[in-house]
Amino acid sequence: MAPLLVLAVVTALTRLLGWVTGNAWLDSWPHSTALGLAAMFALTASAHFIQPKRDGLIAMVPTMFPNAAAMVTLTGVLEIAGAVGLLLPPFPRIAAVALFLLLLIMFPANVRAAREDVGVKTMPLPLRTVVQVIFLGATALVALG
| Nearest-angstrom CA–CA distance, 83 and 94 | 11
pLDDT, residue 123, reads 84
| Nearest-angstrom CA–CA distance, 74 and 107 | 15
A 10 A CB-CB count for 82 gives 27
pLDDT, residue 17, reads 96
pLDDT, residue 7, reads 98
pTM reported for the whole predicted model? 0.93
Per-residue pLDDT band for 138 (boundaries 50, 70, 90) equals very high
pLDDT tens for 65-124 read 889 999 999 999 999 999 999 999 999 999 999 999 999 999 988 888 888 888 887 788
Q: Which of 15-19, 33-37, 122-126 has the lowest mean pLDDT?
A: 122-126
Instruction: Note the residue count of the chain.
Output: 145
